[in-house]
Structure 1
Amino acid sequence: MSKTMKIERQALVPRLRFPKFRGAGEWEIKRLGDKDVSDFVKNRTRLNELNLDSYISTENILPDFGGIKKASKLPPSGSFTTYTPGDVLVANIRPYLKKIWVADRKGGASNDVVVVRPKSGVNSSFFASLLKSDAFIDYVMKGAKGVKMPRGDISLMKEYILAVPNTEEQQKIANFFSSLDALIAAQANKIDALKTHKKGLMQQLFPKEGETVPRLRFPEFRELGSWQYKNAGLLFSNRTEKGEDDLPLYSVTINDGVTKRDSLERKIDNISQASGNKKALRYDLIYNMMRMWQGASGVASEDCMVSPAYVVLKPKLNVCPSFFGYLFKTHDFLNTLTAHSQGLTKDRLRLYFKDFAQISLPIPHIDEQRMIANCLSSLDALIAINSDKLDALKSHNEGLMQQLFPRREAMDV
């Protein structure tokens, strides 16, 4: 038994180690709540000491360890958990969203955010890497209470087992992950810049409400004059054909348009009979009549089936569906769609085809439609390429964390 224990103790080293530390021996097992590891902060900050930059809640911590965004408003009253630079803030509602931020300033956090402060003998960046990990999130979720809005158990968090090397190795690992975090942040900023650029272009490439000429126009179309306006019913017909067994099933999403249903993370109950769905052909424009006012629309990339709760728009002659797909996502036009939707409250609004058909749509020459659609789709492709690069960097980061920290099973005590 003693030999077995010795082998297990010797295994408490990472699989991948910087050369300088390969002979430094095993790491030391600790618990998150140990007095020489961290404090769970209880000090309070008053509301009058906070502003939108220093107030942190679960709403402005971004998921997937993505940092924070500026708070949109301050709460009307209350006191808040004090945080200082180097503290790790853990959103304690729905922990699976991976909302964890390492503070770079002073401020106050809402009661749904746990503030953990590493002790002086623990490198703050190394400590942050221990908590910004799937292993920690999985552990917290196992002890979370509640179904719809699970909440982590703080007393259980304090029992989280971790392994700690000497301070010099901590610093080396911290420096490495800080460099990788900087690459990830730079890539994320690049994607945000592309999305902002696209949003700005969309505002420029389509006329403002009440106008007939866009503010930005490709040179070859500047002499063509004003855009026409026609009722949507003259540009699209309502496709009501029944689904077919050999067609794939698609859903309409707000952010990603028309997407294969089996690629979505959320569970959606399928209608067992294909004939209970609607048929859509490639290039049809599809919208969710209950969410059109939020931007739930897109263009079909192939022949498919969709829910009977959707409206399938068949484009008529000289109509570029992708052009209108982008138009329907603009801020001004979402307001128009909301105004034409029927319902007593906003969460019950529906846009039936008969009401959609009465909406006046701007329509330039077909060549200009295609030029605008191609421009915006090129930006979408660039955003997708850079998003894939970001996902690859995050996967690389997670893989290295598994290699540069000892295996969880070796920490059983």
Structure 2
Amino acid sequence: MDKPKLRFKGFYDDWEQRKLKDMADFSKGNDYSKADLAEEGHPVILYGRLYTKYETVIESVDTFAELKDKSVISKGGEVIVPASGESAEDISRASVVNVAGVALGGDLNIIKTNDELDPAFLALTISNGSQQKEMSKRAQGKSVVHLHNSDLKEVNLLFPKVEEQKEIGTFFKKLDVTITLHQRKLDKLKLLKQGYLQQLFPKNDEKVPRVRFANFDKVWELRKLGDITKRVIRKNKNLESTLPLTISAQEGLIDQNEFFNKTVASRDVSGYYLIKNGEFAYNKSYSNGYPWGAVKRLNHYNMGVLSTLYIVFKPTNIDSDFLEKYYDTTYWYKEVSKHAAEGARNHGLLNIAATDFFKTELIISKSLEEQQKIGVFFKQLDDIITLYQSKLNKLKLLKQALLQKMFI
């Protein structure tokens, strides 16, 4: 096939095929590693940026180092490709450095295109077209794979006339800007939520929050979890559900298949806990950013099953939305740390018995109405965050679909 499935109006010619070496000059970056980075200095791009903060077109640089002799400095329009990576698939990506005066690190292959090849188009097709698969095959190594300029020179490039290339590059640049704006808005909303969580719940050892709704001024009280909730120990003996769940600290209680891309539960789930919508579960597994595990409410499904390693409970004398948000704070960590066996962490699990977990104390409002106001406020904020996340996901899916149709 010499034409993509989707094209801009006015372009009908077949795409050409040539070796990349016939359309570009090649060089390498020089020096600079992560250890050289500083808070200020000369702007520098290291190969890791193409993994941690990938952009088709790099318009600004926020990493700096002291300028060294014999540094390779960008003039603008260079296409950079990582010279090493963890896998052959990872290494097949490229970005355009669209800003002059940036030092380019040593583990970067640098491609300077001729007038027949638009840099943004080349970066896009290397990262998404048939060239991506070819580059993956050329990558060498096992634990760390390498890609040299000699490999890049032999890549078979499929491309249209430069006018069409520029149309494609400009289109995806605008789409990337839209995606970036949505991502920034989403990040700001998440930061806003974290700020409100700190403001609307009292800090440790305090009895009132810093920000309150009007007409509420009474001090909050300490209550044991066991006094405001009831433990759920119902088993799935009648196989009411065959949906194995897991707790994602970010997404809450979700389908194991969605989280792991496979089921890790045993085939017989009759001995698992049966958890129903609105009930909570405590995952004693600690992970990066969640040193005392995570407590989440089942929101996405009517019911599901959980390993008996989880502690399941339901609210009885507290607003459910309020309780859910309380466990989104870090204020409960101190109580769990007091009841967990000191230094005992087995295979990634905290050693805390269910009886001790229900002895943990929560600082809560005495007013059910205040609890409800706080719960509703965060629910509305979560709905807005979910909406923006959905929009962002749709834009990313749209981009992937268009990339598949607009490149050969």
TM over 0.5, shorter chain: yes
CA distance 1:163–1:253, change in 2 (3 Å) = same
CA distance in 2, matches of 1:66, 1:265: 29
CA distance 1:173–1:59, change in 2 (3 Å) = closer
Q: Deviations over 1:20-51 (max 9, x none)?
A: 433xx33221345x252352524334779743
CA distance 1:279–1:15, change in 2 (3 Å) = closer
Paired residues of 1:89 and 1:102 also in contact (CA < 8 A) = no
CA distance in 1, matches of 2:213, 2:391: 31
How is 1:30-41 mapped onto 2 (pairs within 5 angstroms)?
A: 30-32=18-20, 34=21, 36-37=23-24, 39=26, 41=28
Which of 117, 135, 143 is 2:111 aligned to?
A: 117
AA paired with 1:215? R
Q: Which runs of 5+ in 2 are unaligned?
A: none
Paired residues of 2:50 and 2:94 also in contact (CA < 8 A) = no
Q: Which residue of 1 aligns with 2:15?
A: 27
Q: Deviations over 1:186-218 (max 9, x none)?
A: 111111111111111111111111111111212
CA distance in 2, matches of 1:96, 1:294: 35
Does 1:164 pair with 2:124? Answer: no
Q: Deviations over 1:141-197 (max 9, x none)?
A: 5566788x6746546555443212233222222222211111111111111111111
AA paired with 1:314? K
Q: Which residue of 1 aligns with 2:285?
A: 290
Paired residues of 1:31 and 1:159 also in contact (CA < 8 A) = yes
Which of 48, 51, 57 is 1:58 aligned to?
A: 48
Q: Which residue of 1 aligns with 2:321?
A: 322
Q: Which residue of 2 aligns with 1:242?
A: 235
1:259 CA displacement: 0.8
CA distance in 1, matches of 2:235, 2:283: 17
1:374 CA displacement: 2.1
Paired residues of 1:82 and 1:109 also in contact (CA < 8 A) = no
Paired residues of 2:272 and 2:306 also in contact (CA < 8 A) = yes
AA paired with 1:235? I
Stretch deviating more after TM superposition (348-357 or 155-164): 155-164
Paired residues of 1:28 and 1:163 also in contact (CA < 8 A) = yes
1:384 CA displacement: 1.8
CA distance 1:387–1:157, change in 2 (3 Å) = farther
Number of corresponding residues: 385
Q: Specify the SS of the correspondent of 1:274.
A: coil
Q: Which residue of 2 aligns with 1:44?
A: 31
Does 1:354 pair with 2:355? Answer: yes
Q: Which residue of 2 aligns with 1:7?
A: none
CA distance in 2, matches of 1:176, 1:259: 36
CA distance in 2, matches of 1:146, 1:308: 43
Q: Which residue of 2 aligns with 1:411?
A: none
CA RMSD of aligned residues (A): 3.8
Does 1:203 pair with 2:191? Answer: no
Paired residues of 1:295 and 1:328 also in contact (CA < 8 A) = no
CA distance in 1, matches of 2:177, 2:295: 35
Q: Specify the SS of the correspondent of 1:171.
A: helix
1:89 CA displacement: 4.7
How much identity, in percent, do the aligned residues show? Answer: 23
CA distance in 1, matches of 2:106, 2:320: 46
Does 1:178 pair with 2:173? Answer: yes
CA distance in 1, matches of 2:152, 2:111: 13
Q: Which residue of 2 aligns with 1:88?
A: 80
Q: Which runs of 5+ in 1 are unaligned?
A: 1-10, 408-413
CA distance in 1, matches of 2:22, 2:340: 59
How is 1:14-413 mapped onto 2 (pairs within 5 angstroms)?
A: 14-22=4-12, 25-32=13-20, 34=21, 36-37=23-24, 39=26, 41-45=28-32, 50-52=37-39, 54=44, 56=46, 58=48, 61-62=51-52, 85-86=76-77, 87-90=79-82, 92-94=85-87, 101-105=95-99, 106-109=102-105, 111=107, 114-121=108-115, 122-133=117-128, 138-139=133-134, 151=145, 153-154=147-148, 159-220=154-215, 222-223=216-217, 225-244=218-237, 245-247=239-241, 248-291=243-286, 293=291, 295-301=293-299, 302-315=302-315, 317-334=316-333, 336-338=335-337, 340-342=339-341, 343-344=343-344, 348-352=348-352, 353-364=354-365, 365-405=367-407, 407=408
Paired residues of 1:289 and 1:350 also in contact (CA < 8 A) = yes
Paired residues of 1:58 and 1:99 also in contact (CA < 8 A) = no
CA distance in 2, matches of 1:339, 1:71: 41
Q: Specify the SS of the correspondent of 1:276.
A: coil
AA paired with 1:384? T
AA paired with 2:320? P
Paired residues of 2:244 and 2:255 also in contact (CA < 8 A) = yes
Q: Specify the SS of the correspondent of 1:258.
A: strand
CA distance 1:116–1:329, change in 2 (3 Å) = farther
Q: Which residue of 2 aligns with 1:4?
A: none
TM-score, normalization by structure 2: 0.79
Stretch deviating more after TM superposition (249-258 or 236-245): 236-245
AA paired with 2:313? L
CA distance 1:243–1:101, change in 2 (3 Å) = farther
Q: Specify the SS of the correspondent of 2:270.
A: helix
CA distance in 1, matches of 2:139, 2:372: 51
AA paired with 2:226? G
TM-score, normalization by structure 1: 0.78
CA distance in 2, matches of 1:398, 1:309: 39
CA distance in 1, matches of 2:61, 2:336: 29
CA distance 1:38–1:93, change in 2 (3 Å) = farther
CA distance 1:115–1:201, change in 2 (3 Å) = farther
CA distance 1:161–1:203, change in 2 (3 Å) = farther
CA distance in 1, matches of 2:388, 2:195: 19
1:299 CA displacement: 0.3
Paired residues of 1:187 and 1:390 also in contact (CA < 8 A) = yes
1:256 CA displacement: 0.4
Paired residues of 2:45 and 2:63 also in contact (CA < 8 A) = no
AA paired with 1:381? D
1:318 CA displacement: 2.0
